[in-house]
């Protein structure tokens, strides 16, 4: 474990507060499986409680599909060995949970009449086909969870109301141009653990999106993809095979706060690349092949967390992290990791860390062979 506070990877429901020390809150991390309780909490938060309050039993339309549990407009059909989406789902359902079944296909009329659906959970099934008209009734759907299935592509005609799409761990190799073009309110896409190469992201694949959060970790990327949504706050590309950061790679993402590039093959970061992301708070470059501290860190006024552990850095210069003038840095670092590098730590000047909040924020440790 790192000694300083590790900011856990949290998704989507991020509350930014500029000026304060870097912090964020959210509901999920990736080690955790999907939790319907969290979703219910979020529905309550987002909708002021009104949407899933007690419902007059007289108003309850329809029954409850066999094997499912229905209460307060939540229909739970998880882990029921279902081979298909059940029929007769009450039309006022707000949350439909079908995770952990054996569903292989979403058919045209599976969600017919579900005009009130807010969240649809299809995680952990065997879905490889989605009828192109299947989502058309879902005019109010905001959250679609499709992770751990066998989809070969992002489904077509996603509801325009969608805010969050998680489609992690599928078989997606291509994202064609215009896939997300009608989705102007989308905030967050989790697309990790798919066999995606850079060539599989067509030009215009992300056109039309104004995303805060994008994750394409555990894929087959060899470079930072081009033309991602411009107002991204968080970009996570860990566990790919990215070789370098080139000058233009980050040039479109002025609002970027967090950049995750751990566990790649990065040897080289072109001088000036980081100047394009002046608002960066946190960068993860651990487990790469860097032989020096990236250039430009002293000019990053807001940067607080830099992971550089498990690289091939043999020297750290006195001006690698901190600016030379006073007042240049608006927030001090509160996490720098350098362990597991071939550095002679006793040769690093203490003044190197003059813009770090306290000594515990630096993690050295020994180089492991």
Ligand X SMILES: *[C@@H]1O[C@H](CO)[C@@H](O)[C@H](O)[C@H]1NC(C)=O
Binding site for ligand X (CB under 6 A): 289, 291, 312, 314
With respect to ligand X, which residue has the nearer C-beta, 194 or 287? 287
Both tokens assigned to 37: 């309780």
* Least distance to ligand X, CB of residue 222, Å: 17
* Least distance to ligand X, CB of residue 267, Å: 7
What DSSP assignment string belongs to 273-299? GGGG-TT--EEE--SS--SSPPTTGGG
With respect to ligand X, which residue has the nearer C-beta, 64 or 343? 343
With respect to ligand X, which residue has the nearer C-beta, 209 or 313? 313
Give the CA radius of gyration of the chain.
23
With respect to ligand X, which residue has the nearer C-beta, 99 or 311? 311
* Least distance to ligand X, CB of residue 313, Å: 9
With respect to ligand X, which residue has the nearer C-beta, 240 or 311? 311
Are 163 and 188 in contact by the 8 Å Cβ rule? The answer is yes
* Least distance to ligand X, CB of residue 153, Å: 37
With respect to ligand X, which residue has the nearer C-beta, 71 or 291? 291
Residue with the two structure tokens 């411009």: 230
Q: Hey, CA dihedral for 86, 87, 90, 92, is it positive or negative?
A: positive
Residue nearest to ligand X (CB): 312
Q: Is 245 helix (H, G, I), strand (E, B) or coil?
A: strand
**CA 254, 258, 264 angle in degrees (round to 5)?**
110
Please report, to the nearest 10 degrees, the dihedral formed by the alpha carbons of residues 315, 318, 323, 329 taken in order.
Answer: 80
With respect to ligand X, which residue has the nearer C-beta, 266 or 361? 266
* Least distance to ligand X, CB of residue 333, Å: 25
With respect to ligand X, which residue has the nearer C-beta, 212 or 310? 310
**CA 288, 305, 270 angle in degrees (round to 5)?**
45
* Beta-strand runs (E) in the chain: 69-71, 74-76, 95-97, 105-106, 119-121, 129-130, 143-145, 164-166, 188-190, 213-215, 234-236, 244-245, 258-260, 268-269, 282-284, 305-307, 335-337, 362-363
* Least distance to ligand X, CB of residue 367, Å: 11
* Least distance to ligand X, CB of residue 312, Å: 4
Q: Residue 120 and residue 111: Cα distance in Å, rounded? A: 10
């Amino acid at each position: 474990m790192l000694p300083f506070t590790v900011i856990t990877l949290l998704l989507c429901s991020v509350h930014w507060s500029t000026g304060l020390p870097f912090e964020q809150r959210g509901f999920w991390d990736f080690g955790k499986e999907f939790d319907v309780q969290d979703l219910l909490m979020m529905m309550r938060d987002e909708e002021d409680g009104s949407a899933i309050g007690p419902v007059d039993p007289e108003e309850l339309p329809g029954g409850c599909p066999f094997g499912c549990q229905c209460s307060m407009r939540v229909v739970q059909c998880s882990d029921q060995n279902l081979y298909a989406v059940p029929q007769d789902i009450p039309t006022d359902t707000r949350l439909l949970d079908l995770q952990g079944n054996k569903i292989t296909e979403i058919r045209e009329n599976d969600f017919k009449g579900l005009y009130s659906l807010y969240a649809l959970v299809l995680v952990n099934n065997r879905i490889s086909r989605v009828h192109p008209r299947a989502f058309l009734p879902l005019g109010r759907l905001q959250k679609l969870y499709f992770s751990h299935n066998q989809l070969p592509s992002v489904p077509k005609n996603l509801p325009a109301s969608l805010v969050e799409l998680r489609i992690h761990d599928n078989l997606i190799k291509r994202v064609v141009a215009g896939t997300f073009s009608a989705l102007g309110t989308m905030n967050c896409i989790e697309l990790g653990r798919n066999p995606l190469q850079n060539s599989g992201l067509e030009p215009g694949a992300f056109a039309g999106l104004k995303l805060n959060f994008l994750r394409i970790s555990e894929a087959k990327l060899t470079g930072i993809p081009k033309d991602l949504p411009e107002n991204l706050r968080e970009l996570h590309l860990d566990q790919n095979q990215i070789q370098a950061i080139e000058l233009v790679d980050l040039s479109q993402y002025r609002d970027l706060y967090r950049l995750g590039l751990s566990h790649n093959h990065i040897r080289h970061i072109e001088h000036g690349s980081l100047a394009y992301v002046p608002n960066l708070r946190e960068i993860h470059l651990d487990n790469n092949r860097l032989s020096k501290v990236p250039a430009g860190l002293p000019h990053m006024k807001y940067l607080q967390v830099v992971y550089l552990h498990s690289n091939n850095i043999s020297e750290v210069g006195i001006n690698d992290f901190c600016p030379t003038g006073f007042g240049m840095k608006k927030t001090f670092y509160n996490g720098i990791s350098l362990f597991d590098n071939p550095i002679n730590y006793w040769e690093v000047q203490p003044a190197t860390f003059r813009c770090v909040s306290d000594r515990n924020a630096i993690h050295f440790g020994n180089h492991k062979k």
